[in-house]
Amino acid sequence: MQTHIPNKVLTTALNLFTTKGYFSTSMRDITADSAVSTGSVYHYFKDKEGVATALYRSMIERMRVALLHIVSTHDTSHDQCHAVISLLFKIAEEEPEVMSFMLYTKHREFLPAEPPVCSSEPFEIMRSMVQSGMDKGEIEQRDVLVASTCLYGGAIKMITSHLDGILDQPLSSYLDDIWACSWRAVASSKS
Amino acid sequence: MQTHIPNKVLTTALNLFTTKGYFSTSMRDITADSAVSTGSVYHYFKDKEGVATALYRSMIERMRVALLHIVSTHDTSHDQCHAVISLLFKIAEEEPEVMSFMLYTKHREFLPAEPPVCSSEPFEIMRSMVQSGMDKGEIEQRDVLVASTCLYGGAIKMITSHLDGILDQPLSSYLDDIWACSWRAVASSKS
DNA sequence: TTGACTAGAACGAACGTTCGTTTTAGTATC
DNA sequence: GATACTAAAACGAACGTTCGTTCTAGTCAA
């Protein structure tokens, strides 16, 4: 049972946005499901877009912290990137709404002011892991965007498949297989 | 200059849906930009969703035909899959709206009746290429969904990056690089 | 009493859609 | 060939609904 009103609103909004979509959830839906009155919602948030922005920012921030923690607790790019994909899979399974809103939602459509997810700080941290892997010779030299896209692309596609419900097995059971493919795509030949 | 009304409507809708998003384009926008009256639009299409459905179906069909042609004109899975990615890159560059609507739009939000893109026939054909590659020993044995996701995932992510406008170079200049990574991810060790 | 908070009725704008009408194109009648 | 009729196509003003938001009234701590 949550008591803090902004959190109640954000949690409700997250659920509604990911199940019905941003445009198909009305402020009335949010007030009804969260049991918070219209007045209160507008007291804490400027408008509907403000709710979505707050949600988006809080998730970006959460990811940023988690990724920086991974960087500081793993030595090789190999281990860092593996930890990233493990983390993404874990969140996708335990909190699919969070992953869904972060990866699978076209924020541009209702958050025109925010930069695209791929330009966000978390994705930049992920790319910097790849870059340092290339500097150290773990990862073959090539355009860092290409390498990152190939390394993470498969895993992310797998997550969206999971969110779409087209996977037979639990997502985590694919982790080793996906990682083997993804790493092989970019690893330098000497490793 | 188009004269066939349904085509005028569909072309206009495609442009508006991909630039403003489905929910942010009104029927008034469509009638204004296409210079077709409200009455005529509703004469040819049941409702707004009907316009989107027709658009979606026509694209799926177009892809289906193109992919079957690739299958029939290339012998190895290697060549087939390479041709697929080339085709996707070509469409993404020459008709970004088409790619955008096909790959990057959350159809589920406004086309709840349609199956997700990844379950559509085109994607099934793409997976069958991978499956036959595994049967022939070109591609390492593993879950076909995992292999397909890894093989195509990077390229598709690259396309969405292109559509987001975060690429420095023209998309096609990344093709060889991406293909090298992608194929290496799944190719059997003996090849 | 004041100020932060809550409540939900009320508002105006914008939406998807309908519908009565006009225009067009084709066909039958003389 | 001219006329009358018909059905489909095209039109756009108008409708009812729903939306995001505002506003006024009220509550409760301090």
User: What is the CATH number for A35?
Assistant: 1.10.10.60
pLDDT band at B1 (very low <50, low <70, confident <90, very high): very low
**What is the three-class DSSP state of A47?**
coil
A119 φ/ψ angles, rounded to the nearest 5 degrees: -95, 0
DSSP B36: -
Protein CA A31 to sugar C1' C9 (Å): 15
Question: pLDDT means per 10 residues in chain A (191 residues)?
Answer: 76 94 93 91 92 94 97 97 98 96 83 84 96 96 95 96 93 96 90 50
> pLDDT by residue (tens digit) across B103-114?
878 787 888 888
Question: B150 near B182, Cβ under 8 Å?
Answer: yes
Q: Are residues B39 and B69 part of one domain?
A: no
Best probe of the A interface among B25, B139, B150, by most A CBs < 10 A, is: B150
How many contacts does A have with B, using Cβ atoms within 8 A?
111
Residues A169 and A25: their CA atoms lie apart, in Å, by 31
A167 belongs to a structural domain: yes
Residue nearest to nucleotide D21 (CA to C1'): A47
Copy the structure tokens of residue B154. Answer: 């990077």
In this structure, the answer to whether residues A87 and A141 fall within a common structural domain is yes
Residue B190: its pLDDT value, please? 59
A50 assigned to some structural domain: no
Query: Do B110 and B20 have their domain in common?
Result: no
Q: What is the pLDDT of residue B77?
A: 96
Angle at A88 between CA B151 and CA A132, to 5 degrees: 75
Q: Does residue B81 sit in the same domain as residue B161?
A: yes
- Shared domain for A32 and A75, answered yes or no, is no
**Residue B120, pLDDT score:** 92
Query: Considering Cα of A92, then A96, then A101, then A105, what sign does the dihedral take?
Result: positive
Look up the CATH number of the domain holding residue B167. 1.10.357.10
Is there a single domain that holds both residue B79 and residue B127?
yes
In a domain, A32, yes or no: yes
- Whether residues A89 and A159 share a domain: the answer is yes
pLDDT at B6: 78
Mean pLDDT of B89-115: 89
**Is there a domain that residue B58 lies in?**
no
Whether B33 and B97 map to the same domain: the answer is: no
Q: Kindly state whether A32 is in contact with chain B, defined as any CB-CB distance less than 8 angstroms.
A: no
What per-residue confidence (pLDDT) applies to A189? Answer: 79
Does residue B145 lie within any of the structural domains? yes
Identity of the residue in A116, A143, A156 whose CB atom sits nearest the CB atom of B157? A156
Q: Is residue A108 part of a domain?
A: yes
In angstroms, the Cα distances linking B54 to A138, B57, B59 are 48, 5, 9
Q: B50 in a domain, yes or no?
A: no
Q: Does B114 touch chain A (CB under 8 A)?
A: no
The more confident residue out of B127 and B106 is: B127
Q: Examine residue A54 and state whether it is found in any structural domain, yes or no.
A: no
* Domain match, A81 and A118 both: yes
DSSP B173: G
> Are B87 and B116 contained in the same domain?
yes
Classify B138 as helix, strand or coil.
Answer: coil
State how many domains chain A has. Answer: 2
B33 and B119 share one domain: no
For residue B173, give its domain range.
Answer: 65-186
Instruction: Please provide the average confidence, as pLDDT, over all residues in chain B.
Output: 92
Claim to verify: residue B165 and residue B109 sit in the same structural domain: yes
